[in-house]
Amino acid sequence: MKRCQQPCAADINGNRKVLFIEELNKKLHDRKAFDCGLADVNEFLKKRASRQAQQSINRTWVALDDEMVDRHPAPIVGFYTLTSCTVAHTDIQGNYPHYPLPAFKLAWFGVHNEYQGTPMRVGEELLVEALLQSWELFTHTQLGVAVVVDPLTQKSEDFFRKYDFQEIGRSFHGQETLYLPMRKIRQMIEADLLLGAEEKFGSRTKAERWFDTPDSLFGGLSPRKMIDVVGGVGILEDAIYES
């Protein structure tokens, strides 16, 4: 789950392709040319995303192709939008009190037609970044039980199900509303960091020992505990991938 701002790369016909993900800026990013094939998604990005961010309703992040990142405005490869929501205690698994529970919502999600189904796997990279962003917000607030999404098509519902999103038990425009518990997101982050550590140190045993050993580099915390600290995942990624 290494985040794309590092950035993320994919090989296409022998060429190294890189994605950058940053917050939407209407002066720097070409919203008008974006087309994911869904009119509602396109319209949100073009007409409402910037305004709603200014109103503190939600926040939108966009993916840019490194070959076009210096264009003004730069074409948008894909985007995602996060906001807050609530879910009923009966909607998700767990022993929760009987009143609405705080959650994060992946409110909008789209990949430009030209990048759908390519080796760059833009949809997967965007989803990973959205989950990491949600976890970062969670570490700041310690509020939120899950990430919720309302897929607009069967194709998008199938996409989210591949990443262990589960049914809430209600539908939205004919598709199932899905959720991914925060504990599962943490497990995904932990598993990916351990895999990176294994590659860095050369064995699973060394990676696990590092993961559970307090380190002055992390303020005396172990890497496992750093996951729960504000900004901790980014610090661990730097330690694994940049050193």
pLDDT of the residue at 4: 47
Q: What's the pLDDT tens digit per position in 8-58?
A: 444 433 444 678 999 999 999 999 999 999 999 999 999 999 999 999 999
Helix H or strand E encompassing 32? none
pTM score, whole prediction: 0.89
In which band, very low, low, confident or very high, does the pLDDT at 172 lie, cut at 50, 70 and 90?
confident
Q: What are phi and psi of 221, to 5 degrees?
A: -90, 155
List of domains in the chain: 8-180 (3.40.630.30)
* Cis peptide bond N-terminal to 7, omega within 30: yes
DSSP H stretches of helix in 23-121: 39-43, 49-54
Q: Is 104 helix (H, G, I), strand (E, B) or coil?
A: strand
Neighbours of 155 (CB within 10 A): 11
In which band, very low, low, confident or very high, does the pLDDT at 111 lie, cut at 50, 70 and 90?
very high
